[in-house]
A and B are shown apart, each in its own frame.
Chain A
Amino acid sequence: MKIVVCIKQVPDTKGGVKFNPDGTLDRGAMLAIMNPDDKAGLEAALRLKDQYGAEVTVVTMGLPKAEEVLREALAMGADKGILVTDRVLGGADTWATSTTIAGAIRNLEYDLIITGRQAIDGDTAQVGPQISEHLNIPVISYAQDIKIDGDSVIVQRQYEDRYHVVKAKMPCLITALSELNEPRYMTPGGIFDAYAAEITTWGRADLKDVDDSNLGLKGSPTQIAKASDKVRKGAGEKVTLDPEESVAYIMGKLTEKHII
């Protein structure tokens, strides 16, 4: 079985967000990590490899620096890493990103493609389903449990108040939830090997069956009109009182607002 896992290097929005003096996000000062949902997707692929035997290829699109997450994936146990990088691919929205990644994946053999549900920087959850559409294969989003059954996958697909157990014929694409599993750590041996391993780098010329008009900033239907630091609602009153006075204070406010 051949599995392709799509991963993204993202700024760690959880571990403290840094801003430039002009209010824009200071990406340089923020730690770059493998997107958590993607890491769960990679772990799912590695477990399928442990269980059924599989070749796991990780693909990322980004700046040359994004090679770091490929090495991390190799150190966790992935077999091959492919970096898709080219200036003309920059500034892509989800349509152009998914077009690019689909163009790269067309060069590969695959039974299963796994992506994360969403990246913590863009938060769109669009690229996975869009890749599946470009490649004309079924998609199962929000996967919680993945099993192989002959030429099909059986997956628990999560909704707000239920889950469906669904069966899809391979090849198909699955988007993984970070709740899916606890990703394994890199092994020291794995890290050494990962740094010795060769990473394949592809540029625009290596993308199969894609049109220039669908790539990068120019090929993006959506355009940013404005981006700004979120204006937060200002702080109200803050008081430090003993418990009894605190209760009187809250009761006063609730009565004043006709809540009780």
Chain B
Amino acid sequence: MGLEEYKGVYVFAQQVDNKLSGIAFELLGKAKDLAKDLGAEVAAVLIGYQVKDLADELAAYGADKVIVVDDPELKEYRTEPYAHALASVINEFKPEIMLVGATAIGRDLGPRVSARVATGLTADCTKLEIGDFPLNPMPGREQKHNQLLMTRPAFGGNTIATIACPNHRPQMATVRPGVMQAIDKIEGAKATVVEFNPGFEPNDKYVEILDIVKSVSDTVDIMDAKILVSGGRGVGSPENFKLLEDLAAAIGGEVSCSRAVVDSGWKPKDLQVGQTGKTVRPNVYFAIGISGAIQHVAGMEESDLIIAINKDDSAPIFDVADYGIVGDLNKIVPALTKAINEAKAQKQ
């Protein structure tokens, strides 16, 4: 393949129910950085049915160009028609970089498309930059410049690997939601909109959707919370989470939890922080009764301020906490809630 033919940083702009997912904006933010280093344009690939109206929103978050694939077959996410759409866009427009969110959709679509266009795909990246590969010159080996260097955790967050895809295009990566940052919205921005439809002919690879069941949950997305009050097995019981809920209400935060809590059935999965849950980076993260297993820490260590309360002096959570308090959460948390409420009352 003529690698130099491939130009531009592309992102898959995931939408569900004709609403763009947050990851689309995060990817555009990162794509803008990368495109600046490469002197390239940023394009969003918008796939769905009656989704054209979303193009302006993508422009406002940094897309120079929006490629729209619009077809009734694309109304709900299904692997085959979406893979056909994205692979066709890649073959037609030849992007140098193709970013996809590591969501339940992106982690299905990414590998299927990478296999179809015969290129490499790095999963669940947490850092992307432009650089040289190999990193340092090596005798007898060509050092390529302007490569996408994709950094990701592996082994459940124990190791970090930086990966390149020097001889295939596009360089594809799925990117962990919550890690990259969207730019501030530019009101009134416009992008070049290109409509492209490769044609959809249902075949035996098109699955049939019999039913769609949305989980009834009135909880907010913990990834958007500025303050998280997170509880682990040490909280003791589902009833005892009331202490954390009171603290969250006092300080204006949300409650989240560790995997142990979800596995015990105390809290729903959408509140889980960690490797198999959500990655969060709030301003303040209270880790209460959380031991701090590496799988949990992987999902919260980027928080600006980590305050840990645990009765076990040797809990690994203290290795990442800015402020660690060794003590009984049952005594400290209610007293803290009271103190915060009093401080707030005084201010008024």
A residues adjacent to B (C-beta < 8 A): 11, 13-14, 17, 25, 93-95, 98, 120-130, 132-134, 136-142, 154, 158-169, 220-244, 246-251, 253-255, 257, 259-260
Which residues of chain A come closer than 8 Å to B205, judged between CB atoms? Answer: 136-138
Which residues of chain B come closer than 8 Å to A227, judged between CB atoms? Answer: 159-162
21 pairs, CB–CB < 8 Å, chain A vs chain B = A17-B158, A122-B123, A122-B154, A124-B124, A129-B111, A130-B112, A133-B116, A138-B79, A138-B206, A140-B207, A223-B163, A224-B161, A225-B149, A225-B162, A240-B325, A241-B327, A246-B325, A250-B323, A251-B336, A259-B251, A260-B251
1/0 contact trace for B183-226 toward A, CB 8 Å?
Answer: 00000000000000000000011111111111101000000000
Range for the number of chain B residues in contact with chain A: 35 or more
Within 8 Å by CB of B294, from A17, A98, A161, A231, lies A17
Counting from the closest, the 4 A-B pairs by CB-CB distance are: A221-B120, A124-B123, A133-B115, A222-B120
Q: Is the pair A123, B123 in contact by a Cβ cutoff of 8 Å?
A: yes
Within 8 Å by CB of A165, from B154, B166, B210, lies B210
Given A126-B121, A141-B108, A240-B326, answer yes or no on A257-B305 (Cβ-Cβ < 8 Å).
yes
Within 8 Å by CB of A93, from B110, B120, B157, B166, lies B120
CB proximity of A97 to chain B, nearest CB, Å: 11
Q: Is the pair A95, B156 in contact by a Cβ cutoff of 8 Å?
A: no
Q: Is the pair A125, B322 in contact by a Cβ cutoff of 8 Å?
A: no
B320 beta carbon closer than 8 Å to chain A: yes
B249 beta carbon closer than 8 Å to chain A: no
Which residues of chain B come closer than 8 Å to A140, judged between CB atoms? Answer: 79, 207
CB proximity of A9 to chain B, nearest CB, Å: 14
CB proximity of A235 to chain B, nearest CB, Å: 5
Q: Is the pair A161, B270 in contact by a Cβ cutoff of 8 Å?
A: yes
Given A124-B123, A228-B160, A246-B327, answer yes or no on A159-B105 (Cβ-Cβ < 8 Å).
yes
Q: Is the pair A123, B115 in contact by a Cβ cutoff of 8 Å?
A: no
CB proximity of B120 to chain A, nearest CB, Å: 3
Which residues of chain B come closer than 8 Å to A242, judged between CB atoms? Answer: 327
1/0 contact trace for B133-172 toward A, CB 8 Å?
Answer: 1110000000000000100011111111111111110000
Using CB atoms, name the residue of chain B closest to A167. B208
CB proximity of A167 to chain B, nearest CB, Å: 4
Q: How long is the Cα–Cα vector from A259 to B228 in the complex, in angstroms?
A: 13
Q: Is the pair B204, A169 in contact by a Cβ cutoff of 8 Å?
A: yes
Using CB atoms, name the residue of chain B closest to A142. B104
Q: How long is the Cα–Cα vector from A93 to B322 in the complex, in angstroms?
A: 38
Q: Is the pair B326, A223 in contact by a Cβ cutoff of 8 Å?
A: no
Most buried by B among A160, A220, A232: A160
Q: How long is the Cα–Cα vector from A248 to B340 in the complex, in angstroms?
A: 10
Which residues of chain A come closer than 8 Å to B313, judged between CB atoms? Answer: 240
Which residues of chain B come closer than 8 Å to A222, judged between CB atoms? Answer: 120-122, 163-165
CB proximity of B336 to chain A, nearest CB, Å: 5
Given A14-B156, A132-B112, A138-B205, answer yes or no on A259-B123 (Cβ-Cβ < 8 Å).
no
B319 beta carbon closer than 8 Å to chain A: yes
Q: Is the pair B115, A98 in contact by a Cβ cutoff of 8 Å?
A: yes
Given A138-B205, A165-B213, answer yes or no on A239-B165 (Cβ-Cβ < 8 Å).
no
Given A163-B213, A230-B160, answer yes or no on A238-B321 (Cβ-Cβ < 8 Å).
yes
Q: How long is the Cα–Cα vector from A247 to B328 in the complex, in angstroms?
A: 11
* Apart from A228-B161, A236-B323, 17 more pairs, CB < 8 Å: A126-B123, A128-B111, A138-B207, A140-B207, A154-B210, A164-B76, A166-B209, A221-B118, A222-B165, A223-B133, A225-B133, A225-B135, A225-B149, A226-B135, A234-B319, A238-B324, A249-B325
Using CB atoms, name the residue of chain A closest to B104. A159
Q: How long is the Cα–Cα vector from A253 to B251 in the complex, in angstroms?
A: 14
Q: Is the pair B210, A243 in contact by a Cβ cutoff of 8 Å?
A: no
CB proximity of B232 to chain A, nearest CB, Å: 16
Given A98-B115, A225-B134, A237-B322, answer yes or no on A246-B156 (Cβ-Cβ < 8 Å).
no
